[in-house]
Structure 1
């Protein structure tokens, strides 16, 4: 039949159809998309984080070329090619800190693991997948966050018509938000604020505030991390005598007002005297009786006023003392409410590298341990389970040795190699190679003008407060955040190296029993003026 193909032509057509997939370009069968997280990833400083990407549809990435990089293709974070990682192409800051997560690589899912996250890791990333001549990439963002030190708040002194308060902290990322609040929760605007980044990219902040309201009482400085939502705050009490005196125009106004009042009183007195003179003849007896009655009432009123004034003065004095105790500014105010504690050393708790004196008040390193880097600790013989107390320690040659002192729990580890921190049951400070600093998880040297020679340790067991003072200058050194104590606490002493010694100073009037319980202290009772409620009352202070 004409128009119908022959059988040989049908065979050629069938073979051509079978070979067409091999002759056509294979690009459409190899195409895929690369997808990354749609929301930014959050990583904590010093921790680990994974940056994941995947193919859609899912394709095995074992034979692909994979690359994670920053803003430029050459800024490689991780390179995977020919079935293995290529560390020679990485940026210097990621060398040894990145590795490929391959558990789901056969299903088209891969992630780069970044260890020991740094502030410089913050920002955008790109992941690049390539198979043959076809490639795709996706973008993702990493936000790094870290909470630094607690704010250090101090009163700098009068400024203009108020008191200048400064707040400083370090080790934050990103830039922290600074908030000032008064005793009633009202927020203040910062007078000045400055942020500085160190070599690691972490922020240090210094903020200042001028408080002009004499009745504000406590002022709180808080630092807020906007990514983690975490906050650290410290409050300080501003006594009223710190505020400058009233300006001269106010004094002049008060003097003028007093003079006017005296003139009015004089005019009234003259009018009353003239009126009395006119009526004296008719009302002589009545006036005499009234004078006697007024004299009697005046004496009674004077007696009442004297008693009320005395009670008011006593109340103001107690409030003044309580306010200064809370301010934690001077050691002599703390000594008044913290009885001396008779500390002696327990030779049975001393490390073999230490020498305890015969009177059990001085500890030194053995001569054989001074050059060998010996390190040992010893506890006080008397344990503390309640109340509040303080003792003083003299440090000899403290700048030529490493030493630690404070308090610790009874069950802490003191053998072998160990470190001190509140998390491990130690509330201590000391001198180290980096300087004088508190023993915390992330120790930071304290900005002292000079190394203390006589250190006072103040312990309030019930309120969980441990504070240290320079007893030579009478100034505050450091206070740990409030803790919840349980069990027995012991005085703690440790010499790590050098030729120095720690000596417990004799205390005048030290008690033989336990520290004074809190419920026996008059300063712990609610304070209010006679005849008035303590709710919402301000704290008037004597000048």
Structure 2
């Protein structure tokens, strides 16, 4: 072998580009992202290779259902997995330097897992796997005294909004670990986040101070609750134990009777006030809103009456032309604008079988027809015939039997929550959580049932505590609320 052949052989071995070989690399450290934040999954070719005319495919579990697909010079969104619709993008301007990284927006618990970056170089292909860790920090735990155990007082520590399942520690006043007796984990099917209940039995010591600590091993963060138990609660004689046990059993019987009486068929909420206590705002008042409809936002075929009743008609109404009105969606906004605080109002839909209601952001599209989805700045539920649905990417059928005649809408601006309740049965229908509101929000109503009225009212949040009334009496009252409205 002469010198020229040796030189060519050396170049082919040292420089992969001359032999057509390439590799792709992911990040050196697995990425970690909190729920609701954006994540970047790094994927880089080596040597740097222009990707403009190649296929770049990101997938999670199924090659044929990509998280994102770039081919033939453009993004092919029609093939995208619906769970990632509108939440992904590539760094196309950096394709010339071989950057095939993926940006994943507004992550949720279901995004946790292994992703594959696949590049088809026509004559060959390469792929690399990236493990994405998603972490959700729950609320600060709250502690409840649950009664007496065999040796001391049984205490429960509860929190929600965690992912993955948190590690729970109990400590006494000397910061020594106590052993928890039982743990209950409940996973929310909509958000994928965990609600945690951990119990421990504590005994009296010199200070009677205790702590419940919940740790997120992914985010390396923790939340802690401190509490102190008065020494008089720790029984010293059998008489006190007997008296406390009798009182405790009596309370439990009353609670069971209450649950059996009011929550026989559905899983009920404890009432909006208790819900707010769980949010940590028990000292703040709920604004029970008297919603009025904004005529200048109403679709031309909507008839408005008494500032808070509306119905869909077959003919356009005579009113001044407004650039703020809905043109394609048969909808109207409330004139109330919310940019802070917690608010509650009720929408009465007793005779209507085709409606959507909730809240909408100030900059949401009104002139063109759009889907009523959170990514389009609509947070709503819908009734279509016999069933009710959540208007999100899952479009889940809600547990709403019988169909609600009055729907309570609760907005907590700072905590990013929009919740819906069946007022008659006092049951929770659906919640949108984890939002970061930055614009004004308005009440939203839509009707597709001609000549059927919908009304908004300022019913008190305490109505969730009242006895359910008969459907017939609810309909008679609804007719009286829209005076002069033909049915």
TM-score (norm 1): 0.44
Q: Rg larger in 1 or in 2?
A: 1
Which has the larger share of helix?
Answer: 1
TM-score by length of 2: 0.49
